[in-house]
Chain A
Amino acid sequence: MDILSDIKVLEVAHSLSGAFCAKLLADQGANTVKVEPPDWGDPARREPPFINGVPDPDGSTIFLAFNTNKKGITLDIEQPQGRELLLRLVADADVLIESFPPGHLESLGLGYQVLSETNPRLVVSSITYFGQTGPYSNYRGGDLVVQALGGFLNAVTGSADRPPMGTTLEQMEITAARNGAIAIMAALLQRQQSGKGQHIDLSTMEAAVSTPSGLIHPYTFTGRSPKRGGSDGNVMDGMHLPTKDGEVTLTTAGTGGRPMEAWSEFLEEPGLLDPQFATRPSRLENWEELHSLVAPKLASWNNLDLMRETMARGLVIGLVQNPQQVVDSPHLAERGYFVEIDHPEAGSLKYPSPGFLMDGENPMEGSKSAPTLGEHNAEILGGQLGLSAEELGLLRASQVI
């Protein structure tokens, strides 16, 4: 399925949020051109780990994962010739995603005003850590900094008696990117009515704050700031407990309001019926004793057996799967979740798809890998913009591409 095949996207981003946002569109068929600075390209190309263990601009796993289905060109927009070429691409584009510090594109003569005069139908999405305005707009960001300022570190994961702890793999950038894709689709739908483009100002910090159970309204309703530590001592509803080949987290869901009876029966542990475990507060209070009853029972189970048997009884658990177990998952295999994509350096690998099937089809079937550095210079600058081989040679010589 290629829903966005009539859409041309330019990504001039150099950030993971911009890259992931453009990927979300590219994976739905948008013709996406990633514009990278010459030399090493997108800074993500320098990020270890590398798929073959050695630094290689085409081998960074984060780059490979976040840039599927894009074409890649190099273009130095700090040089006038590079800017001119970018504007020629802009003239024919539908969406431009950028993540420069606010004001930088203006200083290059590529501000929203200029872009929209060049192409009034263009949707520009500026994704930055703190947005285009406000006292932090020129602050230096990063995923950890945004997890801190966005309230995630203090309140969301980790233990109450230990320092704030974050989550992994740039999730704030990913959250910002998902919001960006929504905003871009909204702007494209608006353009169908108005014929005009838009300028989206998206802040990663704000994306972090806006989780649905949230920070702001729980505080303004109750006067208490949510605090980390929700899984501390929570044997039945949050802790991770070891199994024979991994870990599991239990829940009291699916037990018809009688969690201890249901789990006592399942685990064949009558001790769970002791009144000291009857209520949620009493379970938290006596958690060590509860743990000493539950943990040995779980330790005799294999993950996949435990999942099958609890599922059959309507109990709800979560296997704490490592990435390899996820890749090997029989469930995901049956759903055709992973798509196999070949890449000249990385070889053939399974890539995650967006998380939804449309009419039973995986929208990422037939996907292409992330571009190697400058892979599509000739195709885009030559084919699309019509530059001659000689002109391309000159651009190369002056390091514009």
Chain B
Amino acid sequence: MNAAIPQNRILEGVRVLTLEQVHALPWGTSFLADLGAQVIRVESLAHLQDRKAGPFPDGRPSQEWWNEGGNLAYFGTRNKQSLCMDVTAPLGKDAFLKMAQNCDIVTDNFRPGTMERFGFDHESLTKLNPRIITLSSSAYGYTGPWRRAGSRARTVDATCGMSYLTGYEDGPSYRASNNYMDHSVGNNVAYALLLALYERNKTGKGMRIDLTMQETGVSAIGPAILETQRGISRSRMGCGHLWKSPHNVFPCRGSDRWIAIAVSTDEEWQRLQKAMDEPIWAADPRFETAQGRWNHRNHLGDLLADWTQTRDDQELMSHLQSNGVAAGAVLTAEDLVANPHLEERGYIEEFENVNAPLAGPRKYAGRPFRMPGVSFAIRNVAALGEHNVETLRDVAGLSDEEIATLSNEGIISTQPLPTETPP
């Protein structure tokens, strides 16, 4: 832990026990960890995919690959504790239930049915701990005909309707993102859990939250959901817009360099003309009105591209913005790390993971919000099983002897099995 950074105390004393994999749920609980909750991630030697996911320092996993991944540090065990314990073994199951008795929140993202099979479903946990809040994050929820379906973020991108609306103009549909769904779902998880804690502060009662990826996705395309009910369909527009023009990306100098320009009003169009030094083509009466610019958007786009393509994207952005035109260079990750705006805002944070000495200091994206006096920084990244003893003793209340038994029987561990395939 970096002693220089004060611990965020907003959720001090709140304990979260989480059986989580991949992106969405670990992303969600990382917000609670940032806020000072004790988030105990239960990991299993049989499922080390997230520790194999990397990215690894300089692209190469070392001998101790399991503590090195960048995703782990960014959200996987960020500010969390790791309890590596086989909860399918009877002693592991007992320890998990003792733990749950003294936790405020239990979360999972198994397919519906798995928690019940383990005996960790909401009903069983409530009997042990009436104030418990449980949250299950799944693709399609605990009810309905699709409840047993598996998913990936992009399959949910498809089933929620977002992919259908995404694509180049007049072209086929595209997934909107490989993992935008994970991102939104994780955010929704954090929001739902904070709501449940807020409610419990008032009523003393816990609750069961059945959160789904598909439904979170649908909630993000509300306008299209309303439109279709009145027979209005939205066409795919790429970077184009239903009624604004010019509104697209235009090529700039260099390989794969682009600028986004978004003009809404006639006034903005006049500002763009001024920024271009009033070329004759722009005075074309077909471009005078918003409707005219939209109808002739391809022609207008070609002419504008002729003007942008000899220019540097970031210089052009600065020039257009100083003329009051909404424009943004199409940045890469490399550009973002060097970006002066993010630099001045301290958005990119550097963190050195003591559990991954070979990684050295690396830069990470920060949280997109700031609050005076509250730190959301990465403070520590849990190594595999780093908190086995601490959590079993302090949260589950096990004796040293009981913990030694778990260790001797291989139910808790701090290293992958010798038979594990490295990434």
Q: Mark A residues whose CB is within 8 Å of B.
A: 3-4, 6, 24, 28, 48-49, 51-53, 61-62, 64-66, 130-131, 133-136, 139-142, 144-158, 162-169, 171, 174-176, 178-183, 185-190, 192-193, 198-207, 209-227, 230-231, 238, 240, 247-249, 251, 253-254, 307-308, 311, 314-327, 330-332, 334-335, 337-338, 346, 349-360
Binary contact track B261-287/A, C-beta < 8 Å → 1, others 0: 010100000000000000000000000
Q: Which residues of A contact B185 (CB under 8 A)?
A: 355
B225 touches A323 (CB 8 A): yes
Residue B188 is within 8 A (CB to CB) of chain A in the complex: yes
Given contacts A61-B223, A225-B332, contact A178 B242 (CB under 8 A): no
Q: Which residues of A contact B366 (CB under 8 A)?
A: 206, 210
Residue B307 is within 8 A (CB to CB) of chain A in the complex: no
Give, as a whole number of angstroms, the nearest-CB distance from B48 to chain A: 15
14 residue pairs of the A-B complex, CB under 8 angstroms, read A64-B226, A65-B225, A136-B341, A139-B321, A145-B327, A148-B329, A189-B198, A190-B10, A210-B368, A212-B24, A311-B146, A316-B151, A331-B140, A356-B192
B207 touches A221 (CB 8 A): no
B220 touches A140 (CB 8 A): no
Beyond A135-B344, A206-B342, A358-B209, list 13 extra A-B contacts (CB 8 Å): A49-B227, A51-B232, A139-B321, A142-B264, A153-B330, A206-B365, A217-B73, A227-B332, A238-B154, A311-B148, A332-B214, A349-B229, A355-B185
Residue B71 is within 8 A (CB to CB) of chain A in the complex: yes
Bound CA span A153–B150, Å:
28
Residue B391 is within 8 A (CB to CB) of chain A in the complex: no
Kindly identify which residue among B150, B180, B372 contacts A254, using a CB–CB cutoff of 8 Å: B150
Kindly identify which residue among A253, A349, A359 contacts B208, using a CB–CB cutoff of 8 Å: A359
CB-CB nearest in chain B for A230: B178
Kindly identify which residue among B73, B160, B163, B371 contacts A249, using a CB–CB cutoff of 8 Å: B163
Bound CA span A171–B220, Å:
7
A351 touches B341 (CB 8 A): no
Q: Which residues of A contact B199 (CB under 8 A)?
A: 3
Kindly identify which residue among B151, B166, B224, B325 contacts A323, using a CB–CB cutoff of 8 Å: B224
Given contacts A167-B177, A217-B362, A324-B228, contact A175 B143 (CB under 8 A): no
Give, as a whole number of angstroms, the nearest-CB distance from B168 to chain A: 6
CB-CB nearest in chain B for A182: B190
Q: Which residues of A contact B321 (CB under 8 A)?
A: 136, 139-140
B186 touches A212 (CB 8 A): yes
Bound CA span A154–B254, Å:
14
B345 touches A133 (CB 8 A): yes
A155 touches B225 (CB 8 A): no
Residue among B202, B236, B336 having the largest count of chain A Cβ atoms under 10 Å: B336
A356 touches B211 (CB 8 A): yes
Q: Which residues of B contact A219 (CB under 8 A)?
A: 332-334, 336-337
Residue among B158, B182, B197 having the largest count of chain A Cβ atoms under 10 Å: B158
Give, as a whole number of angstroms, the nearest-CB distance from B334 to chain A: 5
B11 touches A337 (CB 8 A): no
Residue among A133, A186, A188, A218 having the largest count of chain B Cβ atoms under 10 Å: A186
Residue among B157, B192, B337 having the largest count of chain A Cβ atoms under 10 Å: B192
Bound CA span A164–B374, Å:
36
Binary contact track B175-197/A, C-beta < 8 Å → 1, others 0: 11111101111111011101111
Q: Which residues of A contact B234 (CB under 8 A)?
A: 49, 168-169, 323
Bound CA span A266–B177, Å:
27
Given contacts A175-B187, A318-B154, contact A169 B224 (CB under 8 A): yes
B152 touches A316 (CB 8 A): yes
CB-CB nearest in chain B for A166: B239
A193 touches B10 (CB 8 A): yes
B162 touches A4 (CB 8 A): no
Q: Which residues of B contact A324 (CB under 8 A)?
A: 228
Bound CA span A66–B220, Å:
10
Given contacts A4-B195, A156-B177, A212-B186, contact A332 B215 (CB under 8 A): yes
Query: What is the size, in residues, of chain B's interface with A at 8 Å between Cβ atoms?
Result: 153
Q: Which residues of A contact B140 (CB under 8 A)?
A: 331
Residue among A136, A165, A202, A360 having the largest count of chain B Cβ atoms under 10 Å: A165
A167 touches B162 (CB 8 A): yes
Bound CA span A194–B323, Å:
45
Q: Which residues of A contact B160 (CB under 8 A)?
A: 321, 326
Bound CA span A142–B260, Å:
10
Bound CA span A185–B197, Å:
10
Bound CA span A188–B202, Å:
13
Give, as a whole number of angstroms, the nearest-CB distance from A290 to chain B: 17
Q: Which residues of B contact A165 (CB under 8 A)?
A: 166-168, 174, 238-239
Bound CA span A156–B173, Å:
14
Q: Which residues of A contact B232 (CB under 8 A)?
A: 49, 51, 53, 61
Give, as a whole number of angstroms, the nearest-CB distance from A377 to chain B: 25
Bound CA span A161–B232, Å:
32
B228 touches A337 (CB 8 A): no
Q: Which residues of B contact A145 (CB under 8 A)?
A: 260, 262, 326-328
Bound CA span A356–B28, Å:
14
B364 touches A216 (CB 8 A): yes
Binary contact track B339-380/A, C-beta < 8 Å → 1, others 0: 011101101100000000001001111111111101000000
B258 touches A178 (CB 8 A): no
Residue B218 is within 8 A (CB to CB) of chain A in the complex: yes
Question: Which of B38-46, B54-62, B85-93, B411-419 is the interface stretch?
Answer: B54-62
Give, as a whole number of angstroms, the nearest-CB distance from A356 to chain B: 4
Q: Which residues of A contact B344 (CB under 8 A)?
A: 133-135
B222 touches A65 (CB 8 A): yes
A216 touches B194 (CB 8 A): no
Bound CA span A205–B340, Å:
13
B10 touches A189 (CB 8 A): yes
